[in-house]
Amino acid sequence: MTGTTAAALVKATHPGPSLAVMSIGTALAAAAGAPAGRCALLAAALLSGQLSIGWCNDAVDRDRDTAAGRPDKPVALGVLSATAVLGAARVSLAVCVVLSLALGWQPGLVHLVAVAGGWAYDLGAKRWVVSFVPFAISFGALPAVATLTLRPPAWPPLWAMVAGALLGVVAHLANTLPDLAADIAAGVLGLPQRLGPLRTRGLAAALLGVAAVVLAFAPPGQPGTAGIALLAVTAVLLLAAFAVRWGEESRAPFALTVVAALAVVALLLARGAALA
């Protein structure tokens, strides 16, 4: 394998989201009290699952990405073949099954359900109005994967799974925004494409706000200074994104929503000790 091919394979994994999911899931397990060895195994399982989803996405979307002229897609550019990338996805999925079940049957099965949600989205759910459901299931399951990794395994409180599901839907809405026009032209008519850019941004902001409130006030005990500060930051960012009159072509609302999402993720991690 040449260096160019290896770099293209890495790029086709959607490395940003893949590393984010791995990091958040591992950090939640660590915050809940999982030992280092279990966290390392969990990180490997999470990463292999995300790699399989990313490679599957680029292989399946080759024709659509080519038509849209996507310069960030190695398969669409012809640097990699769809067959090779789909093969890598299958190998990574097989590794994910082994690593997930090595954590135990409970966290293993829950994680595989989450990974199946990602594959379901890639293989067709993105075209339907229920396109948000795989994200809600997969992200909602992430706190459970983290706490079931503990010994003995334990299910997380409902508020953690609700917050995870809300963040998953927000991730779906935000991720589709830059490509709405190309998606619609290709016949991809998921929930964001049907809502349009303005309503998609508004829904993402509303759900993000609800997730922040859930994380601040649903866990037992007071949210603390850090929790209140993160909640305030989220509120200010969302107000700036949607109360200010930005130009029609401005990407500021999207950028502010992404930063607000990072603040909510930080709030989730800050409340991680309450998972156990």
Give the pLDDT confidence of 60-109 residue by residue, as tens digits. Answer: 999 888 887 888 889 988 889 999 999 999 999 999 999 999 999 999 99
pLDDT tens profile 207-240:
989 999 999 888 887 777 878 888 888 888 888 8
State CA 215 to chain mean position distance: 18
Taken in order 222, 143, 239, 236, the sign of the CA dihedral is positive
Secondary structure class of 255 (helix, strand, coil): helix
Q: What percent of the chain has a predicted confidence (pLDDT) above 70?
A: 95
User: pLDDT at residue 272 above 90?
Assistant: no
Residue 245's pLDDT is 65
Q: Identify the top-confidence range among 15-19, 125-129, 185-189.
A: 125-129
Report residue 247's pLDDT band, with 50, 70 and 90 as the boundaries.
Answer: low
77 burial via Cβ count (<10 Å: 0-12, 13-18, 19+): middle
Q: Please give the pLDDT value at position 248.
A: 53
The fold of 1-156 is Tetracycline Repressor; domain 2 (1.10.357)
Closest CA to 145 of 106, 93, 97, 102: 106
Domain ranges across the chain: 1-156, 186-276
Residue type (1 letter), 128: W
In the 8-state DSSP scheme, what is residue 155? Answer: P
Distance, CA of 163 to chain centre: 13
146, 34 contact by CB (below 8 A): yes
Whole-number pLDDT of residue 70: 82
